[in-house]
Structure 1
Amino acid sequence: MAYDEILANRVREKFVELTNITEKEMMGGLTFMYNDKMCVGIIKDELMCRIDPTLHDMAIEKQGCRTMDFTKRPMKGYVMIEEIGMKSEKDFDYWINLALDYNKKAKSSKRPKKKPSH
């Protein structure tokens, strides 16, 4: 199992009204890009959220949340939420909305296309 399909469907339901959402399989899971920016993802059975780095320390105090350290390097602004932290619809919405709020001001992770050299 690369990622939890039920969790992926929960995310899809939240994004159904949004335009400019794309899904990409990466990091052994599924990533939801919004406006060409990484927004949320699913790795195994956990939700990954890209949030405002200024809210990071507060976020990791919440039950079931920890700093993402996918490459063994903690990444401020990226959190992982295990099932206990998103069991209720209210908690799940909290994380999704935190990621969507930050997406408005997040920088695109899209690399600019290289200009051909002559």
Structure 2
Amino acid sequence: MSAKKLYKVTFLNHGKVYELYARHVAGSALWGFTEVGELVFDLGESVVIDPTEERLRDEFAATRMLHLPMQSIVRIEEVERKGQLTIRDAATGERVVTPFPLPSRPKS
């Protein structure tokens, strides 16, 4: 059985460190870039919804291929299984938590 390779890609984006999982990582035809494709997200089969994964899925929903500048890539790892997706603050390393939207109060 030939399983497709799975990569954990860690990169900087707007002052935050993103961790995504992808099936395709290669040198890009664009000089100085690395292409990352076939992004892997959970399909929402779980009862518990991860707001970070939901945010990343929304942000990259229409993305077929990311072309990341080489200097923004922190690490690319070949892994056996997918872990939790994260967004961290680049300066502190703390997770950026996306709060659940609160219902608005009706105007009186």
Normalised by the size of structure 2, how large is the TM-score?
Answer: 0.29
Question: Relative contact order (C-alpha < 8 Å, sep 6+): which is higher?
Answer: 2
**Is the radius of gyration larger for structure 1 or structure 2?**
2
Structure number having the greater helix percentage: 1
